[in-house]
């Protein structure tokens, strides 16, 4: 019953058939009832045998890294003249929401990353990835850091980037205002913000209109109050509610922090918030270490550090010093027609010198072993990676509507809406999404 495959070129017969009036009945009979598409299971075993040639579509969300990837693609193609790599970039919000249906046909994303957590699970369950276990390239990675790419015993992907997910700061501004970038409690966090504000700065530039970036702060904000580390999973399962006391406490903190964001922050895009920071009018920028390269590109020359908004009621030893994430989980599309070439591209990105180039250009640590970081920002901030860090938890949300409802609750609490009202609005959406 099934007609040609997803990306088959149009045959002349197809064309003729479409225009022949008689074909209408064929169409009626032949296709497009619910369930009429068959699901093919990826062939097991020798997925990567065969010649490494062809055009590899590389689909991702890192607009910041475009130029660096372009250089790497150039180098790669010189080494492998029979392979072409085409890069397609979209926004992280779009990638999170819309990537799955686009890649599952195989027309896009021969090599593709997944966000750690929900999206990776979703991709794995949908059979998007090809198992990489046993491939030599896996050995290049730090074993403890690539578990996020495991699905059962299958190595579906390799987390590539290692990020600090907490606000970045302008150390000059912090020094001038006498603000402490390492608060040991929530009071001290607010105190730092207060000092920045009195000195005439925006304490934290916050991209309120961009849920993907503004929600990064949530990872830090929940740490002291959450009853367990998988709290977000439990919210989604209905076992915890955002109307519970612990989450109201989190929202309360957002409400206290709101006055330290720039005015009308709910309308600020990431670019707009970042520009305030680049202009040296803000102490901190609430995104993450992945934004440093762009700040530098835009002409920010001040010393950059990290700011961990500590939410403890009182200082406690052995507490977290920040939040990290191992993400950009690179894998090979199971529907790809150029798997050997796709794997070659991943292997190339995992080579020491190429990985170092990528890391130093884009100011990101990687999960590969034994890399030499020469970028001054990377070198300076690297010691934080040895501290006690919490793993980014917000990617545990599997349902995007639920995640967005929780993020919206945080932002509206920060903008002055009562915490109860913000929580109830969100819980209503969560309940409805769960009932579907």
Partner 1 sequence: MTSAGEPDVGVRVMASVQRRRRGRGATRTHWALYLFPVPALALVVAFLLLPLVQSFQYAATDWNGYSATYKSMGLDNFIHAIFNDSLFQNSVVNTLKFTLVVVIVQTMLSLLLAVLLVKNSRLNIVLRSLFFFPTILSSVAVGFIWAFIYDPTFGLMRGLFQMVGLGALSGSYLGDQQAAIYWVAMVQIWFHAGQLMVVFIAGLQLVPQELYEAADIDGAGKWARFRSITWPMIAPATTIVVAYTTIQCFKAFDLILGIAGNPPGTALDILSTRIYTSFANSQYGYASAESIIFMAVIGIVVLLQRWALRLTQARE
Partner 2 sequence: MAEKWGRRAILLVYAIMIVIPLLVVLFGGFKNIGQLYSSPLGPPVPPTGRNFTSLVTTANIGVPILNSTALTAGTLVITLFFGSLAAYGLARIKGWIGWVIWAALVLGMTVPAQTSLVPLYVTFRSLGLTDNLFGLILVETVHAIPVAVFILGGFMRALPRELYEASSIDGAGPWRTYRSVIMPLSAPSLAATAIFLFVIVWNDLLYPLFFTTSPSVQTLPLALLAFQGEFLTNYPAIFAGVTVASLPVVVAYIFLQRYFVAGMTAGATKG
* Residues of the shown chain interacting with partner 1 in the complex, contacts defined by CB under 8 A: 19, 21, 23-24, 27-28, 32-35, 37-39, 91, 93-94, 97-98, 100-101, 104, 126, 208-211, 262-269, 272, 275-276, 400-401, 404, 408, 412, 428-429, 432-433, 435-436
176: burial class by Cβ within 10 Å (0-12, 13-18, 19+)? middle
- Residue 57: name its binding partner from partner 1, partner 2, none (Cβ under 5 to 8 Å by kind): partner 2
279: CB partners within 8 A, 6+ apart: none
Which segment (27-35, 149-157, 352-360, 393-401) binds partner 2 by CB under 8 A?
27-35
Q: How far is the CB of 413 from partner 1 (least distance, A)?
A: 12
- Residue 263: name its binding partner from partner 1, partner 2, none (Cβ under 5 to 8 Å by kind): partner 1
Residue 75 is a binding residue for partner 2 (CB under 8 A): no
Q: Are strands 282-285 and 168-170 parallel, antiparallel or unpaired?
A: antiparallel
Residue 66 is a binding residue for partner 2 (CB under 8 A): yes
Residue 264 is a binding residue for partner 2 (CB under 8 A): no
CA separation (Å) from 283 to 10, 62, 254, 260, 363?
57, 25, 18, 10, 20
Alpha carbons 200 and 189: distance in angstroms, whole number: 17
84 vs 191 by CB, closer to partner 2: 84
170 vs 189 by CB, closer to partner 2: 170
36 vs 418 by CB, closer to partner 2: 36
Cα-to-chain-centroid distance, residue 113 = 10
Residue matched to tokens 């495959």? 5
169 vs 414 by CB, closer to partner 1: 414
* Three-state DSSP class for residue 367: coil
Q: What are 124's two structure tokens?
A: 């794995």
Alpha carbons 173 and 64: distance in angstroms, whole number: 25
Residue 31 is a binding residue for partner 2 (CB under 8 A): yes
Residue matched to tokens 């918030």? 273
- DSSP element (H, E) containing 75: helix 66-79
Q: How far is the CB of 15 from partner 1 (least distance, A)?
A: 13
Alpha carbons 20 and 333: distance in angstroms, whole number: 36
Residue 24 is a binding residue for partner 2 (CB under 8 A): no
- Residue 97: name its binding partner from partner 2, partner 1, none (Cβ under 5 to 8 Å by kind): partner 1
Alpha carbons 130 and 158: distance in angstroms, whole number: 11
Q: How far is the CB of 27 from partner 2 (least distance, A)?
A: 7
Residue 102 is a binding residue for partner 2 (CB under 8 A): yes
Is 367:146 a contact under the CB 8 Å cutoff? yes
- Residue 211: name its binding partner from partner 1, partner 2, none (Cβ under 5 to 8 Å by kind): partner 1
Alpha carbons 369 and 146: distance in angstroms, whole number: 11
Site map (CB under 8 A) of partner 2, residues 234-263, x = contact: ------------------------------
Is 402:429 a contact under the CB 8 Å cutoff? yes
Alpha carbons 119 and 99: distance in angstroms, whole number: 9
Alpha carbons 125 and 431: distance in angstroms, whole number: 24
Sign of CA dihedral 83, 88, 89, 94: negative
- Residue 14: name its binding partner from partner 1, partner 2, none (Cβ under 5 to 8 Å by kind): partner 2
Q: How far is the CB of 338 from partner 2 (least distance, A)?
A: 14
Site map (CB under 8 A) of partner 2, residues 110-139, x = contact: ------------------------------
User: Among 201, 220, 216, which residue's Cα sits nearest to residue 277?
Assistant: 201
202 vs 248 by CB, closer to partner 2: 202
Is 235:323 a contact under the CB 8 Å cutoff? no
264 vs 372 by CB, closer to partner 1: 264
228 vs 269 by CB, closer to partner 1: 269
Interface with partner 2 in residues 265-294 (CB under 8 A): 269-272, 275, 279, 294
Is 158:338 a contact under the CB 8 Å cutoff? no
- Residue 121: name its binding partner from partner 1, partner 2, none (Cβ under 5 to 8 Å by kind): none
Q: Which of 36, 301, 418, 421 binds partner 2 (CB under 8 A)?
A: 36
Residue 183: half-sphere exposure toward Cβ, Cα within 13 Å: 23
Rule CB under 8 A: which residues touch partner 2?
2-10, 14-15, 18, 27, 30-32, 34, 36-37, 57, 61, 63-64, 66-67, 70, 86, 88-92, 94-95, 102-103, 105, 107-108, 269-272, 275, 279, 294, 298-299
């Amino acid at each position: 019953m099934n007609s040609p495959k997803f990306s088959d070129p149009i045959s002349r017969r197809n064309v003729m058939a479409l225009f022949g009036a008689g074909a209408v009945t064929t169409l009626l009979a032949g296709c497009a009832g619910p369930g009429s598409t068959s699901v093919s299971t990826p062939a097991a075993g020798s997925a990567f045998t065969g010649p490494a040639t062809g055009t590899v579509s590389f689909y991702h969300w890192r607009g910041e890294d475009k130029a660096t990837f372009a250089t790497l693609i150039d180098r790669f193609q010189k080494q492998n003249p029979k392979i072409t790599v085409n890069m397609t970039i979209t926004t992280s919000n779009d990638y999170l929401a819309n990537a799955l249906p686009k890649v599952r046909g195989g027309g896009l994303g021969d090599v593709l990353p997944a966000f750690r957590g929900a999206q990776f699970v979703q991709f794995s369950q949908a059979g998007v990835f090809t198992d990489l276990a046993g491939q030599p390239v896996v050995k290049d990675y730090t074993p403890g850091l690539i578990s996020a790419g495991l699905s059962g015993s299958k190595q579906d992907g390799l987390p590539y980037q290692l990020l600090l997910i907490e606000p970045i700061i302008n150390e000059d501004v912090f020094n001038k205002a006498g603000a402490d970038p390492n608060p040991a409690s929530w009071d001290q966090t607010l105190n730092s913000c207060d000092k920045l504000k009195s000195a005439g700065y925006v304490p934290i530039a916050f991209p309120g209109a961009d849920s993907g970036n503004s929600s990064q702060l949530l990872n830090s904000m929940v740490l002291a109050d959450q009853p367990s580390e998988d709290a977000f999973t439990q919210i989604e399962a209905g076992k915890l509610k955002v109307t519970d006391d612990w989450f109201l406490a989190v929202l309360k903190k957002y409400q206290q922090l709101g006055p330290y964001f720039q005015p009308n922050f709910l309308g600020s895009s990431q670019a707009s918030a970042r520009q305030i920071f680049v202009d040296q009018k803000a102490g901190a920028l609430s995104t993450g270490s992945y934004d440093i390269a762009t700040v530098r590109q835009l002409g920010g020359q001040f010393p950059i550090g990290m700011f961990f908004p500590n939410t403890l009621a009182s200082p406690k030893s052995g507490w977290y010093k920040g939040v990290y994430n191992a993400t950009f989980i690179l894998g090979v599309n199971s529907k790809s027609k150029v798997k050997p070439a796709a794997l070659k591209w991943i292997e190339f990105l995992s080579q020491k010198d190429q990985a170092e180039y990528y890391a130093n250009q884009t100011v990101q640590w990687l999960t590969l072993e034994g890399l030499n970081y020469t970028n001054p920002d990377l070198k300076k901030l690297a010691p934080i990676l040895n501290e006690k860090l919490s793993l980014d938890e917000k990617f545990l949300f599997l349902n995007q509507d639920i995640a967005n409802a929780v993020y919206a609750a945080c932002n509206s609490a920060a903008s002055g809406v009562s915490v109860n009202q913000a929580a109830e609005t969100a819980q209503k959406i969560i309940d409805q999404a769960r009932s579907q």
